[in-house]
A and B are shown apart, each in its own frame.
Chain A
C-alpha cells in the first residue's frame, strides 16, 4: 500500500469530521426547535426562510396558514394550490424522485417530506434539516392534528393552525351526526377499468373512522392498493351510499372513466345507485393532498352536502 492509495480515505475522514463539526454548531443554534416526527427527531430553525415541500398535504396546510415555500416538486396541483405550478416556485424534482442537485443548490433551511416522498427522507436529511410528516392511516386525525400544530409552531402561526383545526373538528362532529343515520357506505377506487374497495383502517379509512360513515363491509384488506372487487360484489354488498374515487382523473386521463366502470346493470341494482346516493369524491383531495387541512375540510364539506340533501 502506498501513501497515494490511502490518501483519499484520510481526506474523506477529514472532510467528514469537519462536516460533523459544522452540523454540531448548527445544532447548537439558540432558536432551534426540536421536532419529533415519524422518522425521528430533527432540529429545525424557528421560522425557517427557505422551505422545500415534497409533501402535497403539508404544502396544502402551509398554504392555508399563509406560509410561503421556496420550492415544490413538479406535480399536478389541485386548483387551490395551482400557483405552485408557476416558475416563481423552484422545481425540485418529483414526488417520488427529488432532484438532489437542485435541492442542494437551493440551500434550504427546512425540507418537508411525507407520503410518497417519505422514502427519500434519509437522502434529503443529509442535505438539510428534514421532517417527515406522513399521515398514519391508523390515526389520521391524530397525525393531521399533530402535523398542523407542528407546522404552526415552526412558522409561528399557532393561532391560525388552531382556528383551522377547530373549524375542521366542528364540521366533522356535525358530519358524524348526519352519517350515523344515513346508512352504510362503501368506498371504491377505479383505475384502468378495474375497481378496488377500501374499508376502515385503509388509506381512505378516514371516511369511516373520522367522517363516521358506517362501513358496508367488514374486513377489507388495508393494503395500499385496496381490495380488488367486482360488480357482483358491490351488488351483494348493496351499500346505501357509494363513494367513488376516480384515480384516472388524478393522473389526467380518461375523465369520467369511473362512471363508465360503474354504470352497469349490476351496480344499477344497488340502493346507492337507485336512490342517487353515489358520491364522486374529489379525487385530488383524497388521492394527492389527503391529510392537508384544506383538502380535509373540503372532503368533510362535500360529504356533508351530499348527505344533507337526503
Chain B
C-alpha cells in the first residue's frame, strides 16, 4: 500500500511537469500574480489541463484494457493491439468516415466499438478452434488477424485517398487535445471503474473456464462483460487520440511481477503505472524537438519495445 502511494506521488509530479511543458509561454509566477495581456491562465485552462487529463485517462484505460485481455485469454502477451481490437476499431472509424463523415464523435465511437467487439469476438472464436501448443500462438494469431483487418482498412483508405487520415488516427498523438476536444475520454474512466467493481469475477475467469464454472461463475457472461469494456475503451481512445502500442502489454506484466495476478490488487497499480508511462512518453515527445512535437505513438513505440525486450529477457519464466 505504501509503495502504491509512492507510485501515485510520482505520477502527481509527472502531472505537474506535463502541465508546465508545452509550446506556449506559461510561467508559474504569471499564474500566481496575473497581469494584463498574459495568457498563462488561459493556456493552462484551454490547453494544458485538458491535455494532461486526457493523458491520464487514456493511459489508465489502455493499461487496464490490456490487463483485462490478458485475464480473459489467460495469456500474458495479449493486449488490444495484438488481438485485432485496435485494427477493427480503425476499420470502424474508416467506415464511418466514408459513409457518414458528419456523424458526431460519440456516434463514431459507438460504430468503432461495434467493430472492435466483432473483431475481438472473432479473435476469441479463432482461439477456440486453433490448437494452442505454445503461449506465443495466441498473440501470433491476434497479430495475424490484426494484419488481415488492417490490410482491408489500408486498401479502402488508399482507394479513397484517406491514407493520411488513417495514419492520423492510428498514431497516438495528443497534440490536438484542447478544451472541448477530449471529453469523450471520461467514458473510459467510467469503464475502468466498472472493471474494478468486477475485478474478483474477472480474476476467477482468468483462472480458466472449468475452474471458474466449478466455483459457480457464469463464465460466458463475465467474458462478454470484459470484452465490451476492452472494445469500448479501445474505440474511445482510437477515436479521440489514436493508438499507443505496447502500453497494455508492458504495464500489466510489470504489475503482475510486483503484486501478482489478483486483479483487484493489481488494477490500481496498472492504472497508476499506465498513466505514468503515458505522461513520461508525452512529455518526452514535447521536449525532444521543442517547440514542435513528436507524436506519443512514436515515442511509446521506442520506449515500449525496449521495455518489452527487457521484460522478455529478465522474466522469461514468469511471462511464459
How far, in Å, is A78 (CB) from chain B's closest CB?
15
User: Which residues of B lie under 8 Å from residue A195 when comparing CB positions?
Assistant: 176
Q: A254 to B101, Cβ gap below 8 A? A: yes
Query: How many residue pairs between the two chains, A and B, have CB atoms under 8 Å in the bound complex?
Result: 80
Question: CA separation between A248 and B46, bound complex, in Å?
Answer: 25
- B97 and A253 within 8 A (CB): yes
The answer to whether B176 touches A233 (Cβ under 8 A) is no
Are B164 and A247 in touch, CB under 8 angstroms? Answer: yes
Q: Is the interface of B mostly helix, strand, loop or mixed?
A: loop
Q: B178 and A266: CB pair below 8 A?
A: yes
- Highest count of chain B CB atoms <10 Å: which of A191, A232, A247: A232
Asked whether B236 is an interface residue with its Cβ less than 8 Å from the other chain, the reply is: no
Q: Kindly state whether residue B216 has any CB partner on chain A within 8 Å.
A: no
Q: Is the contact region of chain A dominated by helix, strand, or loop, or is it mixed?
A: mixed
Tell me which of B23, B46, B175, B292 contacts A265 (CB under 8 A): B46
Q: A228-B292, A252-B161, A253-B97 are in contact. Are A233 and B168 (CB under 8 A)?
A: no
Interface status of A302 (Cβ within 8 A of chain B): no
Cβ-defined contact, A233 with B160, below 8 A: no
Distance of A195 Cα from B46 Cα, bound (Å) = 17
B131 vs chain A, min Cβ distance (A) = 42
Contact of A266 among B43, B160, B165, B293 (CB under 8 A): B43
Kindly identify, within residues 247 to 265 of chain A, every residue whose CB is under 8 Å from any CB belonging to chain B.
Answer: 247-248, 250-254, 261, 264-265
A269 within 8 Å of B (CB atoms) = yes
Residue of A with least CB distance to B48: A232
CB pairs A–B below 8 angstroms (10 shown) = A225-B164, A228-B295, A230-B47, A230-B176, A233-B292, A235-B43, A264-B180, A265-B179, A266-B24, A269-B39
Tell me, rounded to whole Å, the shortest Cβ–Cβ distance linking B167 to chain A: 8
Judge if B291 is at the interface, Cβ distance under 8 Å: yes
Q: How far is the CA of A225 from the CA of B168 in the complex (A)?
A: 12
For B42, the chain A residues whose CB sits under 8 A away are 265-266, 269
Chain A contacts to B: CB under 8 angstroms = 191-195, 221, 225, 227-233, 235-236, 247-248, 250-254, 261, 264-266, 269
A229 and B292 in contact (CB under 8 A), knowing A191-B164, A254-B101, A264-B178?
yes
A283 vs chain B, min Cβ distance (A): 13
Asked if A236 and B178 sit within 8 Å, CB to CB, the answer is no
Contacts A193-B176, A194-B173, A264-B178; A232 near B43 (Cβ below 8 A): yes
User: Is there an interface contact between B161 and A236, defined as CB atoms closer than 8 Å?
Assistant: no
Given contacts A253-B101, A264-B178, A265-B42, contact A233 B164 (CB under 8 A): no
Q: Which of A221, A229, A247 contacts B23 (CB 8 A)?
A: A229
CB pair B168 A261 closer than 8 Å: no
Residues of A contacting B162 in the complex (Cβ-Cβ under 8 angstroms): 251, 253
Is A193's CB under 8 angstroms from B23's CB?
no
B22 interfacial contact with A, CB 8 Å: yes
Docked CA distance A191–B97 (Å): 13
Query: CB-CB contacts of B42-75 with A at 8 A, as 1s and 0s?
Result: 1100110000000000000000000000000000
Q: Residue B25 at the A interface, CB < 8 A?
A: yes
Residues of A within 8 A of B23 (CB): 229-230, 232-233, 236
Q: How distant is the Cα of A253 from the Cα of B100 in the complex, in angstroms?
A: 10
A235: B residues at CB distance < 8 A: 24, 39, 43
Residue among A194, A253, A254 with the highest chain B CB neighbour number at 10 A = A194
Q: Kindly state the separation between the CA atoms of A247 and B162 in the bound complex, as whole angstroms.
A: 10
A81 to B47, CA, bound (A): 43
A-B residue pairs, 8 tightest by C-beta: A232-B24, A192-B168, A251-B161, A192-B165, A233-B23, A232-B23, A265-B46, A230-B175
A192 cross-chain contacts in B, Cβ below 8 A = 164-165, 168-169
Q: Tell me which residues from 61 to 108 in chain B have a Cβ below 8 Å from any Cβ of chain A.
A: 97, 101-102
> What CA separation (Å) do A296 and B22 show in the bound complex?
37
- Beyond the given pairs A229-B293, A230-B175, A235-B43, 16 more chain A to chain B contacts, judged by CB atoms under 8 angstroms and listed by A's residue number, are A191-B165, A191-B168, A195-B176, A228-B292, A228-B295, A229-B292, A230-B22, A230-B293, A233-B23, A235-B24, A236-B24, A251-B162, A253-B165, A265-B179, A266-B24, A269-B39
Instruction: Name the CB-closest residue of A to B293.
Output: A228
Closest chain B residue to A264, Cβ basis: B178
Residues of A within 8 A of B293 (CB): 228-230
| A236 CA / B47 CA spacing, docked (Å) | 13
| B residues in contact with A225, CB < 8 Å | 164
Q: Which of A195, A221, A251 has the most CB of B within 10 A?
A: A251
**Which A residues touch B169, using CB under 8 A?**
192
Q: CA of A269 to CA of B41 in the docked complex: distance in angstroms?
A: 13
CB of A232 within 8 A of CB of B47, answer yes
